[in-house]
C-alpha cells in the first residue's frame, strides 16, 4: 500500500517570506492563512535553491491567491444578482399589499342616492353605530387576508432565494460584470504561466550556471600529447649531432683514439694519375 506524503503547515516558512518580501497587500486573515498554506506547498514541491527562486515562489503564491479571489468574486456576483432579483420581487409584493390595504381602508366610493335615503330614513344612532362597526370588522378581515396573502408570497420568495441559484433567470443582471471578471482572471493566469516559465528558465539556465561556478571544482592533470614519429625524428637527430660535435670539440685530435679521416677526392685523383703515367713510361719487357 503506497503512502502519500502529507504537507504539514510550517508557520516559519510564511513568516520568513513575509520578512523577505513583506505581507501580501489587501489580504484578510483567511486570505493570509490560504497564502501561507500555498507558500508551504510550493516550497515543499519546488525546493528553492537561491533567492531568485524564493522570489518567484512568493510571486506565484500571491498570483494563485488572486486567482482564487477572482473566482470567489465571480460566484459572489452571480449570487448577488440572484438575491437582487428576489429582493426586487419582494418589494413589488409589499407595494402591491400596501396599495390593496389603502383601497380597503378607503372603502367603496360614496353613493349619492344611498346618502339621501339615509338622511330621510328614521334610523336611530344605535343602528348607525352598529352599521359602522360591521363595516370596520369587514375591513379588518380584508386587511388580515391581505397580510396573510402577502406573508405567504414573501415566504415562497425567501425559500426560492435561499435555494439553488438559477443563473439563466438573472443572466442579464450579471453577464457584464462576469465578463470583466473573466478578463482580469485571464490576465492573472497569463502572469502565473510567465512566472512558471521564468522559474524554469532560471533553474535550467542562469541558476544552474551560477551553482556550477560556485559548487564545482575543476581538477585538470596536464599531459603533453606526443607528436608524430616523423616530426620527432628530426629534433632527435639534430640533438645527437650537436652532442657529437660538442664532444669532438672538447677531445684532442692526436692519439690512437683519433680515427683517420679519408683523403679528399681531389687528392685521390691526383695520386691515381701520377701512378698511371709512371707505368706508361716504363719499357715493356
| Mean pLDDT, the chain, whole residue set | 75
Is there a domain that residue 103 lies in? yes
The pLDDT of residue 8 is above 80: no
**pLDDT tens-digit map of 23-36:** 888 788 888 888 89
pLDDT reported for residue 92: 94
Confidence at residue 216, expressed as pLDDT on a 0 to 100 scale: 56
pLDDT digit string, tens, across residues 63-86: 999 999 999 999 999 999 999 999
142-185 tens-digit pLDDT: 899 999 999 999 999 999 999 898 888 888 899 999 999 999 99
Has residue 55 been placed in a domain? yes
pLDDT at 105 over 50: yes
Q: Is residue 232 part of a domain?
A: no
Higher pLDDT, 132 or 60: 60
273 occurs within a structural domain: no
CA torsion, ordered 118, 124, 125, 128, to nearest 10 deg: -50
The predicted pLDDT at position 279 comes to: 41
% residues pLDDT > 70 (the chain): 62
CA dihedral 104, 105, 108, 112 (to 10 degrees): 180
- Residue 86: what pLDDT? 93
For residue 60, CA distances in Å to 11, 54, 64, 189 come to: 18, 10, 6, 10
User: Total structural domains in the chain?
Assistant: 1
Domain-embedded: residue 50: yes
Please state the rounded mean pLDDT for residues 237-248: 56
Map grid coordinates 687528392 to a residue.
267
Res. 224 pLDDT band, cuts 50 70 90: low
- Kindly state whether residue 114 falls inside one of the protein's structural domains: no
In a domain, 45, yes or no: yes
DSSP 227: -
Tell the residue number behind the cell numbers 616523423, with chain if given: 230
Q: Is residue 251 part of a domain?
A: no
pLDDT single digits (tens) 267-278? 444 545 454 445
Q: Give every CB contact of residue 43 below 8 A, 6+ residues apart in sequence.
A: 13, 57
The whole-number pLDDT of residue 45 equals 87
Q: Quick one: cell of 60? A: 506565484
Higher-confidence residue: 179 or 109? 179
Answer whether 57's CB lies under 8 Å from 46's CB.
Answer: yes
* Domain span at 211: 12-108+130-215
Three-state DSSP state, 55: helix
What band does 223 get if pLDDT is binned at 50, 70 and 90? low
The share of the chain scoring above pLDDT 90, in percent, equals: 33
Amino acid at each position: 500500500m503506497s503512502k502519500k506524503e502529507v504537507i504539514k503547515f510550517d508557520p516559519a516558512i510564511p513568516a520568513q517570506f513575509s520578512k523577505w518580501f513583506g505581507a501580501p497587500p489587501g489580504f484578510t486573515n483567511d486570505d493570509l492563512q490560504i497564502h501561507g498554506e500555498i507558500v508551504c506547498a510550493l516550497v515543499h514541491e519546488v525546493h528553492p535553491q537561491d533567492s531568485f527562486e524564493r522570489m518567484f515562489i512568493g510571486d506565484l503564491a500571491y498570483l494563485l491567491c488572486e486567482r482564487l479571489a477572482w473566482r470567489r468574486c465571480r460566484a459572489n456576483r452571480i449570487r448577488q444578482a440572484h438575491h437582487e432579483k428576489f429582493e426586487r420581487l419582494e418589494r413589488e409584493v409589499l407595494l402591491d399589499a400596501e396599495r390593496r390595504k389603502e383601497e380597503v381602508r378607503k372603502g367603496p366610493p360614496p353613493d349619492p342616492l344611498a346618502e339621501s335615503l339615509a338622511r330621510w330614513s328614521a334610523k336611530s344612532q344605535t343602528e348607525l353605530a352598529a352599521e359602522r362597526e360591521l363595516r370596520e370588522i369587514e375591513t379588518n378581515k380584508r386587511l388580515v387576508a391581505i397580510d396573510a396573502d402577502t406573508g405567504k408570497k414573501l415566504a415562497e420568495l425567501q425559500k426560492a432565494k435561499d435555494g439553488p441559484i438559477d443563473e439563466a433567470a438573472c443572466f442579464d443582471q450579471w453577464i457584464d460584470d462576469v465578463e470583466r471578471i473573466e478578463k482580469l482572471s485571464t490576465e492573472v493566469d497569463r502572469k502565473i504561466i510567465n512566472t512558471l516559465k521564468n522559474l524554469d528558465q532560471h533553474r535550467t539556465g542562469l541558476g544552474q550556471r551560477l551553482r556550477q561556478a560556485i559548487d564545482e571544482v575543476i581538477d585538470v592533470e596536464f599531459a603533453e600529447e606526443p607528436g608524430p614519429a616523423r616530426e620527432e625524428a628530426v629534433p632527435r637527430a639534430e640533438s645527437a649531432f650537436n652532442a657529437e660535435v660538442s664532444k669532438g670539440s672538447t677531445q684532442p685530435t692526436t692519439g690512437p683514439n683519433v680515427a683517420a679521416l679519408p683523403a679528399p677526392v681531389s687528392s685521390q685523383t691526383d695520386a691515381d694519375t701520377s701512378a698511371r703515367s709512371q707505368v706508361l713510361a716504363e719499357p715493356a719487357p
